[in-house]
């Protein structure tokens, strides 16, 4: 049979609901006061280094290639066609060795015309000299004749003057004699001046024509040099490179035909990031890794500008090159900037591009966590960087790229 039960008290149920509500509200408030959960990273996944004090060798590093110190380019002095190849790239050549033969019939005709113009100008100079000298000789004869007439007329005028005083000659004849003497005096003076003028102008006229001969001879010599350049010869001993022409190929004037290099005299051409190249100076010591040995050298040239974010540095090699070192092989170079003594330093962080303020993660709590701290960086080298402020000797920091944790100031390390 059914047993009648007394109804439960609503008061106890309401108390239970109230306690539960208070717990929920309290938990919500407590959770709201907590910050975001710390992210966790694996210790093996990051690079950690310790801040130290001591001496540091400051260096910069870059890659590049070996290049000849002396390169002699051979260019076409005239447009021509390739007729014969006398050598090929990679061969050792001596000075004046025939490398290739070119041809240009038009250039041959131009050279002959230039030589003909020189010969014609020389003939014109000879004719002019003969003509001028003949004119002077003719004028000298005129002056001599005029001098005779002048002397004769002068004597006759004097005789007539004496005879008129004795009444032996009419005054009219005496006047004619004096007028003739004055005429020949003037003509004699004019002919002498004309002779002097002709003699003085000979040199200037011959000089103009001689200058024209010299000018045409220079043009002819230039044409002859261009014609001879069709026989392309090695300007000096070395190794021939970049001779890629083919028979029958037309070569415009100014085209690079080939180059002769000195294989035993190589230098290293390095590309250094412009952020690191600012402290490089001429004469600084360098070490070149040819991947078959190290060679000492020194900085000989630095480009005044950058290209593609890099500055080109030429390093002259002071030591002997290892076997197999040839132009254009890849090398790595390290340049010694300076030696820093008794500084606070650490390994170079992955995202450091130079001096200035950055934030790094410093390990705390025995290495189980890391917090973000501001740090002032100083001079840097290939693998190390100076700490000016923000860290102490013995501190451990994370050197790896931490940009993925940019939103947090604390991480856990396990």
* Residue owning tokens 């890794």: 289
- pLDDT for 106 equals 92
Residues 328 and 350 in one domain: no
- pLDDT tens, position by position, 49-102: 899 999 888 888 899 999 888 888 999 999 999 999 988 888 889 999 999 999
DSSP reduced 3-state for 312 = strand
Range of the domain at 97: 71-103+231-260
Q: Do 96 and 238 belong to one domain? A: yes
Report the CATH number at residue 403: 2.40.420
Whether 292 maps to a domain, the answer reads: yes
Q: How far apart are CA 59 and CA 109, in angstroms?
A: 63
200 lies in the same domain as 254: no
Of the candidates 359, 358, 366, 373, the residue with the CA atom closest to the CA atom of residue 412: 366
| pLDDT confidence of residue 16 | 53
Q: Is 120:289 a contact under the CB 8 Å cutoff?
A: no
CA dist 321 → 92, 290, 328, 393 (Å): 19, 9, 14, 42
Residue 358 and residue 329 share a domain: no
Q: 283-298 as b/e, with b when 16 or more CB fall inside 10 Å?
A: ebebbbbbeeeebebe
Instruction: Please indicate, yes or no, if residue 1 is contained in any of the structural domains.
Output: no
Is 133 within a domain? Answer: yes
What pLDDT does 98 receive?
92
Tens of pLDDT, residues 245-273: 899 999 999 999 999 988 778 899 999 98
Same domain, 364 and 399: yes
Same domain, 237 and 308: no
- Both tokens of 320, joined, read 């002997």
For 179-221, what is each residue's pLDDT tens digit? 888 888 888 888 888 888 888 888 888 899 999 999 999 999 9
Distances (CA, A) of 133 to 139, 154, 202, 358, 414: 10, 31, 8, 94, 113
Same domain, 238 and 254: yes
| Lowest model confidence (mean pLDDT) among 71-85, 151-165, 386-400 | 151-165
Q: Say if residue 391 is exposed, middle or buried (CB neighbours under 10 Å; 0-12, 13-18, 19+).
A: buried
Q: Where do runs of H (alpha helix) occur along 167-297?
A: 171-228, 274-277
DSSP 221-255: HHHHHHHHTTEEE-SSSEEEE-----TT-EE-TT-
3-state SS class at 336: strand
Cβ atoms of 271 and 293 within 8 Å: the answer is no
Q: Are residues 161 and 180 in the same domain?
A: yes
In a domain, 44, yes or no: yes
Check whether residue 210 and residue 308 sit in a common domain.
no
**SS3 of residue 409 by DSSP:** coil
Shared domain for 278 and 302, answered yes or no, is: yes
d(CA 291, CA 300): 22
Within this chain, do residues 91 and 43 fall inside the same structural domain, yes or no?
no
| Residue labelled with tokens 């110190």 | 69
- Rounded distance, CA 58 to CA 350, Å? 17
Q: Are the C-beta atoms of 400 and 348 separated by less than 8 Å?
A: no
Identify the residue with better confidence: 78 or 165: 78
Which stretches of 259-366 are DSSP H helices?
A: 274-277
**Residue 301: how many CA atoms within 13 Å on its side-chain side?**
10
Asked if 217 and 353 sit in the same domain, the reply is no
Please answer whether residues 393 and 401 qualify as being in contact, where contact means their C-beta atoms are separated by less than 8 angstroms. no
How wide is the angle at C-alpha 351 spanned by C-alphas 347 and 356, nearest 5°?
80
- Hey, what are 194's tokens? 């004309």
The domain that holds 313 is classified in CATH as 2.40.30.170
Pick the closest to residue 74 from 189, 205, 242 (CA basis): 242
Tokens linked to 37 = 């959960």
Asked if residue 220 belongs to a domain, the reply is: yes
Interatomic CA distance for residues 380 and 44, integer angstroms: 26
Structural domain includes residue 350: yes
Query: The domain spanning residue 247 has which CATH number?
Result: 2.40.50.100
- Is residue 347 included in any domain, yes or no? yes
Q: Are 332 and 294 in contact (CB under 8 A)?
A: no
Q: How far apart are CA 206 and CA 48, in angstroms?
A: 91
- Number of independent structural domains in the chain: 4
Q: What pLDDT, on the 0 to 100 scale, is given for residue 178?
A: 79
Is residue 13 in some structural domain? no
């Amino acid at each position: 049979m059914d047993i009648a039960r007394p109804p439960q008290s609503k008061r106890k149920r309401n108390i239970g609901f109230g306690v539960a509500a208070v717990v929920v509200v309290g938990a919500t408030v407590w959770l709201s006061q907590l910050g975001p959960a710390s992210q966790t990273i694996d210790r093996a996944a990051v690079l950690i280094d310790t801040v130290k004090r001591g001496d540091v060798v400051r260096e910069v590093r870059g890659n590049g290639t070996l290049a000849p110190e002396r390169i002699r380019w051979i260019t076409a002095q005239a447009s021509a066609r390739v007729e014969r190849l006398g050598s090929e790239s990679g061969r050792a050549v001596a000075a004046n060795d025939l490398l290739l033969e070119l041809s240009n019939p038009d250039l041959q005709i131009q050279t002959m015309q230039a030589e003909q113009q020189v010969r014609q100008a020389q003939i014109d100079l000879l004719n002019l000299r003969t003509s001028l000298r003949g004119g002077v000789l003719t004028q000298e004869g005129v002056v001599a004749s005029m001098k005779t007439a002048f002397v004769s007329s002068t004597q006759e005028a004097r005789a007539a003057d004496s005879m008129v005083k004795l009444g032996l000659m009419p005054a009219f004849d005496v006047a004619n004699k004096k007028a003739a003497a004055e005429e020949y005096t003037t003509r004699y003076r004019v002919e002498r001046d004309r002779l002097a003028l002709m003699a003085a102008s000979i040199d200037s006229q011959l000089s103009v024509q001689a200058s024209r001969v010299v000018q045409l001879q220079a043009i002819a010599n230039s044409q002859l040099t261009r014609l001879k350049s069709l026989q392309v010869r090695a300007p000096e001993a070395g190794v021939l490179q970049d001779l890629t022409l083919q028979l029958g190929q037309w070569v415009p004037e100014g085209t690079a035909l080939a180059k002769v290099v000195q294989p035993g005299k190589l230098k290293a051409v390095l590309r250094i990031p412009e952020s690191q190249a600012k402290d490089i100076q001429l004469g600084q010591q360098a070490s070149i890794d040819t991947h078959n040995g190290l060679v000492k050298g020194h900085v000989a040239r630095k480009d005044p500008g950058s290209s593609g974010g890099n500055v080109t540095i030429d390093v002259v090699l002071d030591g002997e090159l290892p076997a197999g070192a040839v132009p254009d092989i890849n090398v790595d170079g390290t340049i010694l900037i300076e030696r820093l003594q008794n500084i606070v330093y650490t390994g170079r962080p992955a995202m450091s591009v130079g001096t200035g303020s950055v934030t790094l993660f410093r390990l705390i709590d025995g290495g189980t966590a890391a917090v973000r701290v501001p740090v002032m960086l100083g001079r840097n080298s290939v693998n190390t960087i100076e700490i000016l402020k923000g860290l102490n000797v013995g501190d451990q920091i994370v050197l790896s790229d931490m940009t993925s944790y940019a939103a947090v100031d604390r991480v856990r390390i396990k």
